[in-house]
């Protein structure tokens, strides 16, 4: 059993606004960090490309609706 400590970094109520999301994804990628994004269904409907970008970058998506 590993004794490595871990934390879970999560973001709520997105994926909008898109400009903030892009900055967050950039920082996470630059630092090789994976996170969980708790998204609202209504926001995903309005911003499907943003939700797909979260997924394509290897982050977890959870439903926050």
**Alpha-carbon distance 19 to 2, whole Å?**
38
Nearest CA among 58, 29, 45, 6 for reference residue 37? 58
Nearest CA among 5, 1, 52 for reference residue 15? 52
15 vs 20, higher pLDDT: 20
Summarised one tens digit per residue, pLDDT across range 34-64 is 999 999 999 999 999 999 999 999 999 999 8
Q: Given a cut of 80, is residue 1 above it in pLDDT?
A: no
Confidence at 23, pLDDT banded by 50, 70, 90 = very high
Nearest CA among 57, 53, 48, 59 for reference residue 11? 59
For the chain, the structural domain boundaries read: 36-65
**Alpha-carbon distance 39 to 29, whole Å?**
19
pLDDT confidence of residue 56: 97
């Amino acid at each position: 059993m590993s004794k490595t400590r871990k934390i879970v970094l999560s973001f709520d109520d997105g994926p909008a606004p898109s400009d903030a999301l892009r900055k967050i994804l950039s920082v996470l990628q630059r630092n090789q960090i994976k996170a969980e994004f708790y998204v609202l269904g209504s926001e995903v409907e309005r911003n499907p490309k943003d939700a797909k970008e979260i997924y394509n970058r290897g982050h977890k998506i959870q439903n926050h609706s």
